[in-house]
Amino acid sequence: MKIKLIILLLCCSLSAFAQDLVTPFKDCNLTGSITIYDYKNKKWIVSDNADSRRETQPASTFKIINLLIALETGTIADENAIVKWPGSTDTTLYGYRPEIYKDISVKEAFEVSAGWAFVELAKKIGRDKYAHYLKLAGYGNGNLSEKGADFWNFGPFGVSPRNQVEFLIKVFEGKTPFSKRNVDILKRVMINEQTADYTLRAKTGWTRVDGNDIGWWVGYVERKENTYFFATRVTKKRSIVNADFGNCRKTITINILRQLGAM
């Protein structure tokens, strides 16, 4: 009887430390997955292994590597480079986020996710250079056959959550084909939050493909004692209304990172 009681208490104690990787998605009424890498313990924490390896368009999370490629190719000198808005200066013509349709620095375009600015950079970079650096970096499936300039939003180019995390680990370790200077610029631009305990670097993404909404939040939390890399991807049918879709990319991630003690 005593042995059974000890086993029961031990199981209860262990379960108290287990991470709940499912409920945060259910609370948001969304399907998807979170892929985390605990750097210190060399441990993968994955809510859905199959989904973590499934490729979809990276949407605006592509701005992470896109910024590096723009810097490395000399398309821009630094994050303060200005991208000229090619459209009308009459912002009343733009019903959705009219404040982003203006001449804008690359840094601000990254932070507010002004996709048009990175489309303009992509036109200057060219597909051959993208193919070269994406292959060297080991990012994505290499399929750049999409005709549109923003191949990261539409078409067959895809990346998995696990691949996103693997690339961020390379960035952190300085093992990318990009110069230290350019990686340092990226790290500054990626900062979302900085406290006495941690620095959060991340980028959101959202695209609409084949009747589906695909939402991402990708990044890493750096603490003195450890670093946690993450890629969260959520999906839903566009026909299903969910006003919290955008916010849930972050709330799901933060919930689980807090369970791990990362935040």
Show pLDDT as tens, one digit a residue, over the chain (263 residues). Answer: 444 444 443 443 333 346 899 999 999 999 999 999 999 999 999 999 999 999 999 999 999 999 999 999 999 999 999 999 998 766 665 657 888 999 999 999 999 999 999 999 999 999 999 999 999 999 999 999 999 999 999 999 999 999 999 999 999 999 999 999 999 999 999 999 999 999 999 999 999 999 999 999 999 999 999 999 999 999 999 999 999 999 999 999 999 999 999 99
R_g (Cα) of the chain, nearest Å: 20
On whether the pTM is more than 0.85, the answer is yes
Would you call 60 a catalytic residue per the annotation? yes
2 in a structural domain? no
Q: What is the DSSP letter of 129?
A: H
Cβ within 8 Å of residue 101, ≥6 positions away: 85, 87, 91, 94, 116
Q: How many domains does the chain have?
A: 1
On whether residue 36 sits in a domain, the answer given is yes
Nearest Cα neighbor of 137 from 65, 201, 78, 61 is 65
Choosing from 33, 52, 60, 113, the catalytic residue is 60
Q: How far apart are CA 175 and CA 221, in angstroms?
A: 18
Asked if residue 5 belongs to a domain, the reply is: no
* Enclosing domain of residue 72: 20-259
Q: Give the whole-angstrom CA distance, residue 146 versus residue 218.
A: 23
| Residues 55-78 pLDDT 10s | 999 999 999 999 999 999 999 999
d(CA 5, CA 18): 20
Q: What is the pLDDT of residue 19?
A: 84
Q: In this structure, is residue 141 part of a structural domain?
A: yes
Residue 100, domain CATH: 3.40.710.10
- State the helix-helix crossing angle for 161-173 and 180-189, rounded to 10 degrees: 120
Residue 185, CA atoms < 13 Å, CB-side half-sphere? 23
In 3-state terms, what secondary structure has residue 17?
A: coil
* Residue 56 placed within a domain: yes
With respect to residue 8, please indicate whether it lies within any of the assigned structural domains: no
**pLDDT tens-place string over residues 126-136:** 999 999 999 99
Q: How many residues does this entry show for the chain? A: 263
